[in-house]
């Protein structure tokens, strides 16, 4: 067996501690494992050449804490590449909650089976160990880019909704970002915790409430239309939902009187 | 590949084993391509892709395959082989629509409706059949209209409807419909029973596209009220999984020097981009 540590890809150095690579090339030596600081979250990739010389992907797994001993077992045809991460990195890169990973490792095939098929294809055709580690580097860089893109989408969307919380704003955001509605809803919920429309209605209520408190209006109908409500009854329903009272009774007696 | 639309079945590390079973069961069937992830078979000239994608998805009877046996002994052979470890949904028997018919799920979860008859009865030996159950129940009519608006040369061959007294199915819902899209046959059925399965990635339909414009067309139309997934996969408004794939990808993926690079390119894509995949594969 041969092993070495590899310096992480420059754009990943913020997230990675080190990369450990093991290649089997003679009889297995079970107790000759290198000494390494286990107990760190890791992306563990094990491949093996079959008799026909095809590279078979045995395992690509995210471990929250420790890579179990049995994973390190090797034959003469095994290659192991293990990326050891800084503690915060796995949830950020793979959107798997740390608490979930701490309990149970995640195989990439259950994390995202479609991406995993593409990854396995790449590993299968990566002839050398250095090609394999390039494939895994690319996966991590891609995850990082995708997360950054998602963050930008959410930042843009929440900003837009903050400025204009009328009903038409969501359609405008979809158009500007050129993004599928369901995809947008999924990403939004992942980062913000509520659906885009729920968030919009919260913002809308905040505006109304501020306007009402500041006394900047002639009639309640004006407020409703100013803030993009279709009509007065939508306005009252929304107000009741978030403030647990009606606009009129709020004006009379503040938030204490429940209606 | 001459067919526009081909089925893709999802296995957990058993695609090659399953392909061998199908070759021994079906007449005129052979393996036409083999890689660690994808195995392709040709069943009487019709292509099926078998994908080793891991344990996350399994095929289920929401998409089954109506298979016409012209000879009794072929039917008996298939039934016997699929019975091992499989499960029978409708026993081999005489039914109003066929002298001899049976619905069986093989041990990998793939569901087959075997019918003794003439290929000319349907027009092709193997026909995908979509079963609208659960939340999708009653949407077969809508699906016929939806798919007709998307694919070329849509043609409805016939619709048989439930009548009163077929509870739990409602009168008027689609008992059985047969249609053609791009010259290929499909069947659609509503079924109200408590099936406990619905459309999934376990059985998907691949559309092979020659141009980016074609990919854009199918991707745009089928994701309407549906959902984009990764790597060219999507779910339409009924939850049916489709793969919108450039025709040239088959050739690229069978070249070991190109396959890995192409896969690296499409791993980050939702809708596939032909130009980018081709460029990456020769880089």
Neighbours of B64 (CB within 10 A): 24
Higher pLDDT, A226 or B259: B259
What is the nearest CA distance from B52 to chain A, expressed in angstroms?
8
Q: Nearest Cα to B201, choosing from B253, B237, B243, B151? A: B243
Average pLDDT of B257-281?
95
Considering chain A, tell me which residue range(s) the CATH 1.10.10.60 domain(s) occupy: 128-259
Nearest CA in chain B to A144: B268
Tens digit of pLDDT for each residue in B112-167?
A: 999 999 999 899 999 999 999 999 999 999 999 999 999 999 999 999 999 999 99
What would the two tokens of residue B60 be?
A: 């289920």
Query: Angle CA(B153)–CA(B159)–CA(B160) in degrees, nearest 5?
Result: 165
User: What does the H/E/C string look like for A32-57?
Assistant: CCCCCCCCCCEEEEEEEECCCCCEEE
Asked whether the beta carbons of residue B267 and residue A54 sit closer than 8 angstroms, the reply is: no
Q: Which of B9, B219, B260, B266 to mutate to test the interface with A (most CBs of A within 10 A)?
A: B260
Alpha helix positions (H), B100-154 = 119-122, 140-150
Average pLDDT, integer, range B35-64: 95
Residues 6+ apart with CB under 8 A from B174: B132, B140, B141, B144, B159, B160, B161, B162, B188, B189, B190
Residue B249 has pLDDT above 90, yes or no: yes
d(CA A115, CA A109): 8
- Placement of tokens 């980018």 in the chain: B276
Listed range (A70-74, B61-65, B224-228) with the worst mean pLDDT: A70-74
| Count of A-B CB contacts under 8 Å | 84
Q: Select from B206, B252, B264 the residue whose CB has the most chain A CBs within 10 Å, as the one to mutate to test that interface.
A: B264
Percent above pLDDT 70 for chain B: 100
Tokens of A86: 């800084």
pLDDT 10s digits, A77-104: 999 999 999 988 888 888 888 888 888 9
- B245 part of contact set with chain A, CB < 8 Å: no
Instruction: Report the gap between the CA of B69 and the closest CA in chain A (Å).
Output: 34
Return the closest-CA partner of residue B147 out of B130, B161, B169, B134. Answer: B130
Distances (CA, A) of A34 to A41, A60, B97: 18, 20, 68
CB contact (8 A) between residue B36 and residue A54: yes
Mean pLDDT of A26-37: 61
Q: Where are the domains of chain B?
A: 5-190, 210-282
CA–CA gap between residue B106 and residue B81 (Å, rounded): 8
Instruction: Decide if A135 and B267 are in contact by the 8 Å CB cutoff.
Output: no
Q: List the single residue in A with minimal CA-CA distance to B51.
A: A117
**What CATH number was assigned to the domain covering residues A128-259?**
1.10.10.60
pLDDT band, residue B207 (cuts 50/70/90):
very high
Report pLDDT for A100: 86
Strands B184-190 and B126-132 turn out to be parallel
In the CATH hierarchy, which fold is given to the domain comprising B210-282? 2,3-Dihydroxybiphenyl 1,2-Dioxygenase; domain 1 (3.10.180)
Q: Which two tokens stand for residue B185?
A: 């046959």
Chain B, 102 to 121: residues with Cβ < 8 Å from chain A are none
Task: Among A107, A114, A183, select the one facing B231 at the smallest CB separation.
Answer: A114
Query: Is B44 strand, coil or helix?
Result: coil
Residue A113 to residue B57, Cβ atoms within 8 A: yes
Percent of chain A with pLDDT strictly greater than 70: 93
Nearest to A112 among B230, B260, B270 (CB): B230
CB contact under 8 A, A115 and B37: no
**Which residues in chain B are closer than 8 Å to A114, comparing Cβ atoms?**
53, 201, 229-231, 233
Pick from A51, A56, A125, A138 the residue to mutate for testing the B interface (most B CBs within 10 Å): A125
Mutate to test the interface with B, among A122, A127, A134, A138 (most CBs of B within 10 A): A122
Residue A201 has pLDDT above 50, yes or no: yes
**Domains B5-190 and B210-282 are alike in CATH topology:** yes
CB contact (8 A) between residue A122 and residue B263: yes
Q: Among A114, A185, A186, pick the best mutation site for testing chain B contact (most B Cβ within 10 A).
A: A114
Confidence at residue A37, expressed as pLDDT on a 0 to 100 scale: 61
The answer, yes or no, to whether residue B1 has pLDDT greater than 70, is no
Q: Does domain B5-190 bear CATH number 3.10.580.10?
A: no
Distance CA A235, CA A48 (A): 64
> Which among A254, A169, A118 has a CA at the least distance from the CA of B264?
A118
Whether A121 sits inside 8 A of B259 (CB atoms) is yes
Interface contact flag, B53 A109, Cβ < 8 Å: yes
- Asked if B220 reaches chain A (Cβ–Cβ under 8 Å), the answer is no
Taking the C-alpha atoms of residue B95 and residue B112, their distance in angstroms, rounded to an integer, is 16
Distance CA B196, CA B281 (A): 42
Q: What is the pLDDT of residue B104?
A: 98
CB within 8 Å: B227 and A182: yes
Q: Does A56 touch chain B (CB under 8 A)?
A: yes
Residues of chain A neighbouring B233 (CB-CB closer than 8 A): 114
SS3 content of chain B, % helix, strand, coil (to 5): 30, 35, 35
Q: How confident is the model at residue A259 (pLDDT cuts 50, 70, 90)?
A: very low
CA neighbours closer than 13 Å in the CB half-sphere of residue A6? 20
Return the DSSP state at A255: G
CB proximity B283 to A under 8 Å: no
Q: Please, how many CA atoms are within 13 Å of residue B33, restricted to the half-sphere of its CB?
A: 17
């Amino acid at each position: 067996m041969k092993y070495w540590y590899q310096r992480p890809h420059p754009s990943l150095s913020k997230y990675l501690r080190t990369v450990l690579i093991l290649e089997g090339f003679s009889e297995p030596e079970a107790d000759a494992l290198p000494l390494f600081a286990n107990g760190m979250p890791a992306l563990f990739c094990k491949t093996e050449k079959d008799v026909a010389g095809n590279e078979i992907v045995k395992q690509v797994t995210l471990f929250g804490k420790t890579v179990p001993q049995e994973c390190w077992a090797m034959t003469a045809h095994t290659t192991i590449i293990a990326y050891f991460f800084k503690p915060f990195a796995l949830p950020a890169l793979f959107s798997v909650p740390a608490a979930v990973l701490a309990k149970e490792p995640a195989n990439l095939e259950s994390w995202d089976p479609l991406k995993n098929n593409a990854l396995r294809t790449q590993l299968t055709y990566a002839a050398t160990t250095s090609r394999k580690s390039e494939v895994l580097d690319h996966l991590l860089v891609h995850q990082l880019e995708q997360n950054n893109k998602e963050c930008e989408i959410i930042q843009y969307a929440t900003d837009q909704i903050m400025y204009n919380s009328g009903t038409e704003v969501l359609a405008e955001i979809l158009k500007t970002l050129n993004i599928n509605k369901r995809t947008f809803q999924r990403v939004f919920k992942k980062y913000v915790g509520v659906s885009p429309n729920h968030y919009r209605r919260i913002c809308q209520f905040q505006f109304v409430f501020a306007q009402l408190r500041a006394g900047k209006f002639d009639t309640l109908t004006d407020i409703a239309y100013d803030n993009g409500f279709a009509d007065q009854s939508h306005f009252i329903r929304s107000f009741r939902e978030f403030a647990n009272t009606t606009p009129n009774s709020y004006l009379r007696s503040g938030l204490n009187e429940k209606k | 590949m001459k067919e526009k639309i081909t089925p893709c079945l999802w296995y957990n590390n058993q695609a090659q084993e399953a392909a061998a079973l199908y070759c021994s069961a079906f007449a005129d069937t052979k393996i036409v391509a083999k890689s660690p992830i994808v195995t392709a078979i040709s069943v009487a000239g019709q292509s099926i892709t078998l994908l080793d994608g891991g344990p996350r998805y399994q095929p289920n009877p929401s998409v089954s395959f109506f298979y016409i046996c012209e000879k009794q002994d072929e039917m008996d052979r298939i039934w016997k082989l699929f019975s091992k470890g499989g499960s029978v949904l409708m026993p081999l028997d005489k039914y109003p629509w066929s002298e001899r018919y049976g619905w069986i799920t093989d041990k990998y979860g793939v569901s087959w409706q075997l019918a003794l008859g003439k290929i000319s009865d349907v027009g092709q030996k193997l026909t995908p059949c979509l079963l609208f159950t659960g939340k999708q129940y009653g949407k077969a009519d809508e699906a016929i209209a939806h798919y007709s608006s998307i694919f070329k040369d849509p043609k409805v061959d016939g619709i048989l409807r439930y009548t009163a007294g077929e509870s739990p199915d409602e009168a008027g819902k689609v008992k059985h419909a047969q249609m053609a899209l791009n010259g290929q046959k499909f069947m659609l059925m509503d079924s109200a029973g408590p099936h406990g399965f619905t459309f999934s990635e376990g059985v998907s339909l691949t559309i092979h596209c020659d141009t980016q414009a074609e990919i854009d067309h199918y991707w745009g139309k089928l994701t309407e009220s549906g959902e984009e997934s990764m790597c060219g996969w999507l779910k339409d408004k009924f939850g049916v999984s489709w793969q919108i794939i450039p025709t040239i990808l088959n050739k690229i993926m069978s070249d070991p020097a190109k396959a890995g690079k192409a896969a690296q390119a499409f791993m980050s894509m939702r809708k596939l981009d032909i130009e980018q995949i081709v460029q990456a594969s020769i880089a």
